[in-house]
Amino acid sequence: MKKVLIVEDDENICQLLNHLFQEKYQLTIVRSGTEGVIRASEETFDLVILDLMLPGVTGESVLKSIKKESAVPVIIMTAVNDKKKTVELLKEGAADYVTKPFDIEELEARIEVQLRNTAILAPQEKTMAFKNLTLNMASYEVSVCSKQIDISHKEYQLLELLLSYPNKIYSKANLYERVWGDSYIGGENTVNVHISTLRKKLKAADPDNEYIETIWGMGIRLAKEDS
């Protein structure tokens, strides 16, 4: 079942979309731009339906945040029929848009088109493995001891980076700049928290193995095979 994130503050529209699609898709519905940014960064979705007029973080800002981290298709919902604005949003990464009040059948068709296109363009399954851990680069899933574990988007990126270069030692500044794509100033606590949380999840899934090790005075790397 495809996972769809709906970012919409109108209660009536949320109820309508939930009624229409709850049996067809795995829905996550949030009612503010801030929640939208958080959920999109924590989970992997197959499609995002995004309203522009949101409390807190605007729809435009949510779109930019999502597209910075993911290639997930985003369908914009807007009450303003502004061609210039629409063109700007498409240039910024939106896959499609519908104007409120929208036709239900049209919205459903647009959703199906985007999901079908994503399936066609999806890369062939590619995995990386280390000890009892398997990372699926097509589905963005991580399994330990053959059981899938729940990790955030940033935790996945950290793990993928470490697995890609198993002998490389990354300073916290390196990790922050590579994964968060920003200057490291003020980012130490963010890196510490994500690494600590990732370690705990891996340890809970496989108590007998270490997957990430700290090289004191140097940084973080993938643990040696015999660690």
Alpha-carbon distance of 18 to 179, in angstroms, equals 34
Share of the chain above pLDDT 70, in %: 96
What pLDDT does 227 receive? Answer: 47
Q: Nearest CA to 65 among 42, 81, 82?
A: 42
Alpha-carbon distance of 75 to 98, in angstroms, equals 7
Residue tagged 């990126």 (tokens): 157
More confident residue, 183 or 132: 132
Angle between helices 188-205 and 153-164 (to 10 degrees): 80
More confident residue, 208 or 177: 208
Alpha-carbon distance of 212 to 135, in angstroms, equals 15
The pLDDT tens digits of the residues spanning 167-176 come to: 889 998 888 8
Given a cut of 90, whether residue 122 has pLDDT beyond it is no
